[in-house]
Amino acid sequence: MKKYREFLKTHWWKDVFFSEYKTDQRMKVQNPPLQKEYPESAALIDLIDPIHFTLGNVPLIELIRNRRSHRKFSDKPLSLEELSFLLWATQGVTKIVRNGAATQRTVPSGGSRHSFETYLAVFAIKGLEPGIYRYLALEHKLYLIRQEDDLAKKLGKACMKQNFVGQGAVTFIWTTIPYRTEWSYDKVSHKIIAQDAGHMCQNLYLAVGAIGAGTCAVGAYHQEQIDALIGVDGEDEFTVYIAPVGKLR
């Protein structure tokens, strides 16, 4: 067991920065793209611009005090503004920095490397067909990857029969593209990515509280099944966290 603890002890300055370690960044390899490519043919769906949000004005102290994991959701749909707010709260890009080599977002990330991509299993969002979507954080837009029969059932199965994962209005499925962080941090990256995921999901917990909805962080899933469902290769990009969201009764 103890050997697994070592992962949590990788040390960014001892193991990478002040060592002879040749990270790709140090070797002047071109920085990876800030966002995964998407098909030119994708029909992009506009989301509500954060400057036009009419929601979210709940005192932070209440959101923190009342934060809980929820596994039972009502049938009420979410509006597109509510979904836009949750996407922005978890991955919204607020600034492009370092001559286009990094982003600042509504959540922190080690070295601002932001390795995550957001996929959605949409069940009940006003104005959206059910299906698997991807969020384009740079554009603050969505596109439909595909519609999928029995999506809720497949999602529940891929999450070790936790059927509540497919019973909300939308399920967030976050992947990492680890090289985005490895380019800077090499072997320390995997600890950083795990740390980054926590911030992102906590923002979801707080943001759902502001719209009368609930969520539950889900770490128990079948890696290959969930990666296949959203169509990622499982090596250069793979799922790290899942969170269903629905209105509370």
Ligand X SMILES: Cc1cc2nc3c(=O)[nH]c(=O)nc-3n(C[C@H](O)[C@H](O)[C@H](O)COP(=O)(O)O)c2cc1C
Residues at the site binding ligand X, with contacts judged by CB under 6 A = 68-69, 71, 162, 216-220
Task: Return the exposure string of 24-42: e unless at least 16 CB atoms fall within 10 Å of the residue's CB, then b.
Answer: ebeeeeebbebbeeeeeee
State how far the Cα of 236 lies from the Cα of 249, in Å rounded to an integer: 39
Which residue, chain included where needed, has tokens 């959540």? 107
Tell me the closest approach of the beta carbon of residue 154 to ligand X, in angstroms: 16
| Residue number with CB closer to ligand X (159 or 188) | 159
Using CB positions, name the residue nearest to ligand X: 219
Q: What is the largest CA-CA distance in the chain?
A: 56
Tell me the closest approach of the beta carbon of residue 118 to ligand X, in angstroms: 17
Q: What are phi and psi of 224, to 5 degrees?
A: -65, -40
Crossing angle of helices 223-230 and 151-158, rounded to 10°: 150
Tell me the closest approach of the beta carbon of residue 162 to ligand X, in angstroms: 6
| Residue number with CB closer to ligand X (66 or 94) | 66
Q: What SS3 class is residue 32?
A: coil
Tell me the closest approach of the beta carbon of residue 152 to ligand X, in angstroms: 16
Which residue, chain included where needed, has tokens 């969201």? 245
